[in-house]
Chain A
Amino acid sequence: MKDKSQTRVVVGMSGGVDSSVVAYLLKQQGYDVVGVFMKNWDDKKDSGVCTATEDYEDVAKVANKIGIPYYSVNFEKEYWDNVFTYFLDEYKKGRTPNPDVMCNKEVKFKAFLDYALQLDADYIAMGHYAQLKRDADGTVHLLRGADENKDQTYFLSQLSQDQLQKAMFPIGHMQKSEVRQIAEEAGLATAKKKDSTGVCFIGERNFSKFLNEFLPAKAGKMMTIDGEVKGEHYGLMNYTIGQRRGLGIGGNGESNDPWFVIGKDLSKNILYVGQGYHNEHLYADSLTGSNLSFIASIAARGREFHCTAKFRYRQKDTGVSVFLDKDKVRVEFDQPVRAITPGQEVVFYDEAECLGSATIDHAYQKTRILQYV
């Protein structure tokens, strides 16, 4: 490996504390660090308040404090074409997409990586809570972030070897509290900045309102699986499997249990609701998925293997049996899992290592397909 001072690392700086600390640590370690802010969303496209200006101001403050050059790059077109269009298409299909997975795959680790390479970068670095282990032959393994609460491998699970080989995650071995402490001690302007909880670069805003600016909401019936109408829904895309909030139905019914979204029928524009968190319609024992992508070589594991999986971000792992079929996959769960949601990722793990993922298409109870889209 080249001398650190000769190794250029382009840091994706978002204006948040994590990427600020990434830039700071790399600079401390002696790398040739360049900060680049990505502007992925044109605030003229919707009525929300864009935080890009403030975020860029924070990048400027932090970069000047650290003593690194900083720039901005516009990926509005790339984000729109490759992430947002996909995102809307998935919603149109009644699914619940994960734009952050796509943003990593198409923007942060593609458009941005290409841009960084144009700037003679040896690596790009990001503030994700994930770790990389490099083999002698250059192969990388993606490992969970040390902070269990913050582990972001779920969002990185669709990346390829090539993409990850050029990446560095310098805070992946730390706890969030340590990161904040470093930022504070270094006097970085973002030390106390609130964590962003919004969708990738769209930022924090009323999500339904945002979505409805792009997709016309088609109201329809809200009913039980037995056909009893319980009210009206304001567009299927505004609901996700297992959701409780916003249904506007009180208890009553068979019991006094709260109501949940237990299914959707896009062709009939019906939202199915049922009572109880543990409603039987919310539990699946297997799923099928596509867009199968593995980071690590799985040749040695054969066409069928056992590992663990997450079906949404911040979920505990479940033991699963994986059956590969070309770029498709069937996954059987060791025990039933609640609210398997088409459009989200099923991410595979072997202990600490993130193996890869697939996008969930259908959930099943035995051989019966659950009416989720």
Chain B
Amino acid sequence: MKHIYLDNAATTPMDRSVVETMNKMMLNVYGNASSTHYFGRQARAVLDDSRHIIAQSINARKDDEIVFTSGGTESDNTAIIETARARKNSGRHLITTTIEHEAVLKSMEYLETCGFEVTYLPVDEKGHITLADLRAALREDTILVSIMAGNNEVGSRMPLYEIGQIVAPTNAWFHTDAVQAYGLLDIDVQKDKIDLLSTSAHKLNGPKFLGFLYRREGLNFASFLKGGDQELKRRAGTENIPAIAGFAKAVKIADRKEKLARQQKYAGFKQQLIHGLQENKVAFEVNGNSADNLQHVINIWFKGCSHEALLTNLDLNGVAASAGSACTAGSIEPSHVLTAMYGKDSPRVSESIRFSFGYQNTTADIEDLITVLTKITNKMKGRESNGIC
């Protein structure tokens, strides 16, 4: 059976040249970047070069504004929890949205148990907040606004530039979780007045367990991990030089031109998929369908088909996709994102599947996907109407 990977928002395959870069580093550059000898200097040079490439990718003012972390979760946790700890005398109110990633939401919930107050901005059926809601939520004691750049489940984008303009004159800092958007969109932290930004390497063909937190110069807070003075005392723990070099390589590959090419390619896949399903008379609707969504994510409601049976059938037919989030016993919990968009009683929360595209996918993959989806949904429907199920 041919296996098609359409879960690139969960993680992506590594680019061959990234693997080659990392292999070279693992074999040759094994020093500790904090060491003062030759091997340490060698590692330090790779670290500095990588940091420079990455700083440039988001138009950071200084390379030192980039702090390497273990990934998106650590970056989000650090940005939110350490900001709150450092600024608790300046205010105890934070703002976020209802459709953030768990790494943000759980950090907020944690802070709520520590005496902080959090406002969760609602979203509409397209997965968008309104700027009016944001303005209304901002208070004198708001210390942080954390709003994602692009949503991982439906692909809806948030207006970073406008948010930045609103938040900048206030007491609050602006954090954005850009884990899904970073590999596809040009993000300019200066233009968008972003103070903190989280990313993860494995979402753009880099290694897992690595990411960075951009923190604007002048923001002071402690390292989330306690230990050595690495990363200018901002992140304790020996840097993973091969992974960092691999990340920089992946970022270099995803330059402006490549990002544009990927956007076009994925937008084409989306169109192909929608047309194919329409032609085959599959009963579906795209959740949060907006022209400016992240192109690599499409979330589809298959009317009357349970997401568990769909996903299992897809996998048994060689197609890897996802839905909601799996609980620890493997069963699928209703998506908090779709719940926020459509309400908990909407059939969409239990009948929707997310497909996410990657650079390795082809139009032939999408054709196969259409065939499989048509077969599965017809079969599931047929069984229902025959009264078998």
> What residues make up the interface of A, taking CB atoms closer than 8 Å to B?
34, 36-37, 39, 50, 52-53, 55-56, 59-60, 69-74, 114-115, 117-120
Contact = CB atoms under 8 A, between A and B. Distances in A.
A56 to B, nearest CB: 4
27 contacts: A36-B312, A37-B329, A37-B330, A37-B331, A39-B327, A39-B331, A50-B329, A52-B328, A56-B328, A59-B330, A71-B311, A71-B330, A72-B308, A72-B329, A72-B330, A73-B309, A74-B331, A114-B388, A115-B309, A115-B389, A117-B388, A118-B313, A118-B379, A118-B380, A119-B309, A119-B313, A119-B316
Interface string B15-45: 0000000000000000000000000000000
Contacts of A73: 308-309, 312, 331
A50 B380 CA distance: 31
B317 to A, nearest CB: 10
A74 B328 CA distance: 12
A36 B331 CA distance: 10
Contacts of A118: 309, 313, 379-380, 383, 389
Contact of A74 (B315, B332, B380, B383): B332
A26 to B, nearest CB: 16
Interface of B: 308-309, 311-313, 315-316, 326-332, 379-380, 383, 388-389
A56 B389 contact: no
A182 to B, nearest CB: 25
Contacts of B327: 39
Contact residues of A: prevailing secondary structure: mixed
B330 A117 contact: no
A71 B315 CA distance: 10
A34 B328 CA distance: 20
Contacts, number: 61
A72 B307 CA distance: 12
A116 to B, nearest CB: 10
Contacts of A34: 316
B236 to A, nearest CB: 31
Q: Which of A55, A70, A114 has the most CB of B within 10 A?
A: A114
Q: Which of B311, B315, B328, B388 has the most CB of A within 10 A?
A: B328
Contacts of B309: 73, 115, 118-119
Nearest to A37: B330
B269 to A, nearest CB: 26
Q: Which of A50, A53, A73, A118 has the most CB of B within 10 A?
A: A118
Contact of A71 (B312, B328, B379): B312
